[in-house]
Amino acid sequence: MKLLRPCLGALLAAGLFLVPTKSEAAVRVGLGADYWIDESAAFNFTLGVETPLAGPLTVGARFGAMLITEGNDIGVPVDLVLRANLRKSGVYIEGMAGPWLVFGRGDTFRAHAAFGFGLQGKAASIGLEVGYLEPNPTIGLRLGYKF
């Protein structure tokens, strides 16, 4: 019993250091406008969650809804996102990949991978995204707001 008290005290003290004092996870909403080369224009609204990984890196996921103007088809973008916020310069870079569900164009599941970069303020961001949505490349503009 005498040994149990110091052990419990040490575990409690260690636990206090491991519990975050505030929630570090963040929610990000985004608007995007893309040119899907040789296919169509595409507009999307996304909702993402992210959490710190190490230093300036965050990891998260985003999902949403998209409209493909040629044919008025709809889709659901789903991505895993790795982002680096370079605070001193106000620049961010990110990589993302995942399956996008596109309805009304034959193949429902399409591979997506992209690289993005831009300017990040305290909450708002603006940037470019260059990538690939099966079967062609994409390029687009992104606006985001982090809560």
Pairing of strands 91-103, 57-68: unpaired
Q: What is the pLDDT of residues 22-57, one digit of tens each?
A: 558 999 999 999 999 999 999 999 999 999 999 999
Domain count of the fold of the chain: 1
Q: What is the pLDDT of residues 117-140, one digit of tens each?
A: 999 999 999 999 999 999 999 999
Judge whether 95 and 127 are in contact, CB under 8 Å: no
Is pLDDT above 50 for 11?
A: no
Range of the domain at 93: 25-146
Angstrom distances, CA of residue 82 to CA of 5, 21, 97, 116: 43, 24, 9, 10
Query: Over the chain, what is the mean pLDDT?
Result: 88
Residue 133: inside a domain: yes
Residue 71: inside a domain: yes
Residue 93: inside a domain: yes
Q: Average pLDDT for residues 81-102, to the nearest whole number?
A: 95
CATH number of the domain that residue 125 is part of? 2.40.160.20
